[in-house]
Every structure is written in structure tokens, then in C-alpha cells.
Amino acid sequence: GGVRGTPVMPPYPTPLPVRAQVLATEWIEGEQLARSPPEVINRLIATGVDCFISQLLDVGFFHSDPHPGNLLVDARGRLVLIDFGLCAEIAAFDTRHLTSAIVNLMRGDVEGLVDDAITLRFLPPDVDREALLPPLRRVFEQGRLAAATQASESLGGGGRRRGGGRAAEYSAVASKRRQFAAISRDLNQIFFDFPFAVPEYFALITRALIVLEGIALTGDK
């Protein structure tokens, strides 16, 4: 079987003698996912994301060094995760509250999200909630409106179907980028104005997802 709950294959330990500082595993032949054909990348990237989210929210122990050289595709077309020399552990308490934070994020529950951020040590308990909540709500409202606009355009068939051609498509993409940039600026300002901190485990898992995003963009070219 693969990594818990996902079809991702790890190299299994060998019977060779090991020490506390050395882990010997089987050798796996494969091509780097980042160098694979776009159709292979597009097929496996969601599997990789599922794998790391499962490690974060379910297993509580995750691979912390997922650079492109550690993500392979084997001869059977399976995603292989190698080199477990750097791993990190997350307490069950934190995995539960990360799940709660994701639910509150999807619901747009800003107050609940701030509660989770305090519990998860992203914010100190004495943060000025009355000052933080209004700008945070504005950012969420911007995101909601941007998502609603995008959904409406998708239902309408997009720029080309409405007769706008390629120029309309480029204009739509540019508009989405401006919306995202505006939301990012406001969110960055909030992070600057308030005492946010990033726990070590979250920085590591974020790095993993950024690597996967970079590989996914390679598949879109």
C-alpha cells in the first residue's frame, strides 16, 4: 500500500543494519515528477497534495523536504516519495484545530478563524480582536466577491464564447490577477500590523505545498 490513505508509494526500509541516525531504504527507479510529461504531472499532482494534507491533518507526521528530486514517478506510473531524512511531527491537538481552521475558512467564519489562530499559536491570546476583525472581514468579503464574479463568468461561458475572442480572455485573466494582488496586499498589511507568527511545522508543510504548486505550474505550460 501507499502512504496512509493515498496511492503514493514510499521506499520501504531494508533489513540492512541501521542506527538512530541512519535509515536504509530500498532503491526505487523513477523519473522526477517535475520532468514528466504534462499529462502525468496533471494526473499526479492532486495525489501529491492529498498525500501532504493527509500527513498534516490525519497522520500528524510528515515528510518535510519535498523538493522536486524527492518526488518521482515509477515504471507503473505511481507517485513515489523518497528521502525521509527530514520529517516533522504535529500534535493531535494541532491537527484537530487545523481542521477546524479549514472549516471556518471555507465558511467565512472570521471570528472562529481568529480563535483557531490563537489556539494554534499564530496569534497571541491578547491580540486586539476589535482592531483585527474589521480589516480581516473586508479581505474575506473581497475574496467572496472575486469568487462570485469568477463563478458568474464561468457560467456565462467565458470571454471567447461571448464573442470577445483572445483579447477578452487576456483581459479576464488580467482582471483576476489584479483582484488577487489587491487581496494579497490587504492581507499582507494585516500580517504586518498584527503580531502574527508561523509555527515551524506550518512553515514546513507550506513549503511542501509550494513545491507541489511549482510542479503543477510546470504541467500547465
Write out the catalytic residue numbers.
65
Q: What is the DSSP string of 108-166?
A: T-HHHHHHHHHHTTSS-TT--HHHHHHHHHHHHHHHHHHHHHHHHHHHTTHHHHTT-HH
Instruction: Give the Cα separation of 101 and 109 in Å (integer).
Output: 9
Instruction: Give the Cα separation of 3 and 19 in Å (integer).
Output: 23
Q: State the Rg of the chain over Cα.
A: 21
Instruction: Give the Cα separation of 98 and 120 in Å (integer).
Output: 8
Helix (H, G, I), strand (E, B) or coil at 206: helix
The bridge status of strand 8-9 relative to strand 79-81 is: parallel
